[in-house]
Amino acid sequence: MNQRIIPAFALAFGLVALAGCSSPSVITLNDGREIQTVDQPEYDSDSGFYEFEQLDGKRTKVNKDQVRTVKEL
């Protein structure tokens, strides 16, 4: 019985950890366009750009001055 419980707990913990890592977001630009992202965008203060992955898998950068809001879904 213990041989089944330990892997089940490990699997459940792994699924919860993966679900907690993903936080889809919506970036609203000043012109009204909305961009959906897979994860929370990362802001690079050195360059002044938000970097994120779009739903189609492309990595994209947007200038901070073009972003109105960033909301988590």
Tell me which fold the domain 22-72 belongs to: SH3 type barrels. (2.30.30)
CA dist 63 → 8, 14, 16, 44, 71 (Å): 45, 35, 33, 10, 16
Share of the chain above pLDDT 90, in %: 67
Mean pLDDT of the chain: 86
**Distance in angstroms (rounded) separating the CA atoms of residues 71 and 46:** 22
pLDDT, residue 56, reads 93
Q: Is the pLDDT of residue 10 over 80?
A: no
pLDDT, residue 72, reads 92
Mean pLDDT for the stretch of residues 52-65: 95
Exposure string (b/e) for 18-36, b if CB count within 10 Å is 16 or more?
A: eeeeeeebebeeeeeeebe
Per-residue pLDDT of 13-48, as tens digits, reads 665 555 555 689 999 999 999 999 999 999 999 999
**Distance in angstroms (rounded) separating the CA atoms of residues 24 and 71:** 9
